[in-house]
Copies of this chain bind each other. A is one copy, B any other.
Amino acid sequence: MNVYERMKQALITGKYKPEDRLTEEALTGEWKVSRTPIRSALKQLEFDGLITPLKRGYVVRSFSQNDIRQIYDVRSLLEGYAASLSAIHRTEQDLSDMYKANAEFQTIITSQGTNKTEHIQEVLKKNHKFHDAVMRASKDPHTEDLIRKVVVLPLVFHSFYWFQQRELEQSFELHEVIIRAIKDQDSARARSAMHEHIYQGRDRVLEQLKRSDL
């Protein structure tokens, strides 16, 4: 893993917390590389929207409840759109990719891992794999690009960490609905199911946040 990826992990796992200041100098010491790769990583993280530039250095970005709402809302719009395109353009290969990804998702959520954090990492990975397969079936790289940008941010909230078993199963079931609609080339249904799926995720995060803010 290069510096960018490691710093991204640090941001996602919460090693760097909102409002923490990041200066090039300090980071060279921490990661044992020179300022050049640090600068490069910081710039990329800025693109990702994970850090905000100041006149001097950066801060780890903090997200309000409103931010989260808005991020999930556009994400729903975009992924719903992608799903509707996928219903039109999907190939047999795409379909089998989706099936496979969701089968793996099911395997993971039904197996209780030893370590919770590791288990969640796996769930996350398989979930991502499914969404990726849907996106790719759309054959629209530009939309994919935009979605990719909006998908990174929610990782910061560790949404899956708070999912109950029941909710993971709901996700699995909605994935199935989405696949079926795409298979049937039912654009409108694919879109709507995807919207629903993402809004469920949103509400879970929002709820959790409200609870921890009290």
Which residues of chain A have a CB within 8 Å of any CB of chain B?
A: 39-40, 43-44, 47, 49, 67, 70-71, 73-74, 77-78, 81, 140-143, 145-146, 149-150
Contact = CB atoms under 8 A, between A and B. Distances in A.
14 contacts: A39-B40, A43-B44, A47-B47, A67-B142, A70-B143, A71-B142, A74-B140, A74-B142, A74-B146, A77-B78, A77-B81, A145-B149, A146-B149, A149-B149
Given A43-B44, A49-B145, A74-B146, 5 more contacts: A39-B40, A73-B140, A142-B150, A145-B149, A149-B149
A35 to B, nearest CB: 10
A184 B73 CA distance: 23
Contacts of A140: 70, 73-74
Contacts of A146: 74, 78, 146, 149-150
Contacts of A149: 145-146, 149
Contact of A40 (B43, B70, B150): B43
A44 B39 CA distance: 13
A81 to B, nearest CB: 6
Nearest to A39: B40
A77 to B, nearest CB: 6
